[in-house]
Structure 1
């Protein structure tokens, strides 16, 4: 319930100001899934190669972006969820750079921790979907260090005007 209220409050300005922005074709919702590429292929600093996946729902209105995500990594008993407000450069183009800030929590079996991350992303857009590569610089408050991760994934667009 708490996350629903936060998401609604963050989406409200986008809806109000979205009517004033440029193109309706650059306004859409999306659902995405991705995987940590290093963890999936060679493993990480504390784990062998295994699945570390993300699932997200988001909203775009020209340059504004917001998404809510969930990450699960059973190999190290790690979960993370959060909200990422962000900014898109070159909306409406095929190749779109983006950046956002992740306001999140990390859940481990022994405790839940607040966390922050900075993300940069490059997306290649098709009519109804896009593929992406995302770099993340996360403050791992469960271990008190910064970690760099690279994710790849796909997103489906829906709710076009």
Structure 2
């Protein structure tokens, strides 16, 4: 009986996310590019001002979001890649807050390190794209400290019915 209850409990949310009542604003893929604003203007904890770019692809389905990203910061020989599952607070609206967790790896020339970050994002949506501002609190396991960064970028939506 407990197994049956657990199975039903797990399947109900999956079924709810797959319903046809989703509108094009709530169900789409997206590609994004962005820059670490703090690093570009002020520099960081271990560097002078320099370009730190991010590239990602993701999927949204109502309140659920997932994205895969790659970050390249060649000035300090830093790369990061990971998956960010998250929650969309106001799907289908013009101003959309999102929170996610980043499960990732940091690659340095001497080693690869696991990493974890908490992200909050505010997005301003247009019909086929959105712009975003993202705050990130990352545990930098390559240097063993917390790093706060602010990113800005643009995303293009695709893959939803017209």
**Which piece of structure 1 moves more, 42-51 or 139-148?**
42-51
Which structure 2 residues correspond to residues 68-107 of structure 1 after superposition, within 5 A? 68-107=68-107
Give secondary structure in 2 for the equivalent of 1:40: helix
Structure 1: gaps spanning 5 or more residues: 1-13
1:18 is the counterpart of 2:17 = yes
CA 1:82/1:44 → structure 2, altered by over 3 Å: closer, same or farther?
A: same
Unaligned runs of at least 5 residues, structure 2: 1-12
Corresponding residue of 1:4: none
2:137 corresponds in structure 1 to: 137
Distance 2:155 2:34 in 1: 9
Matched, 1:116 2:145: no
The corresponding residue for 1:9 is: none
- Alignment TM-score, normalising by the size of structure 2: 0.87
User: What SS class does the counterpart of residue 24 from structure 1 fall into?
Assistant: coil
CA shift, 1:15, in A, is 8.0
2-structure distance, mates of 1:21, 1:59: 16
Q: What CA distance in whole angstroms lies between the structure 2 residues aligned with 1:43 and 1:20?
A: 46
Alpha-carbon spacing, 1:62–1:21, altered in 2? closer, same or farther (3 Å): farther
Which structure's CA Rg is the greater one? 2
Q: Which residue number in structure 1 is paired with residue 54 of structure 2?
A: 54
Structure-1-length-normalised TM-score: 0.88
Task: Give the whole-Å Cα distance in 1 for the aligned partners of 2:16 and 2:65.
Answer: 13
Deviations 1:65-89 (A, max 9, x none): 0000000000100000000000001
Counterpart position of 1:149: 149
What root-mean-square deviation, in Å, do the aligned CA atoms of Structure 1 and Structure 2 show? 1.5
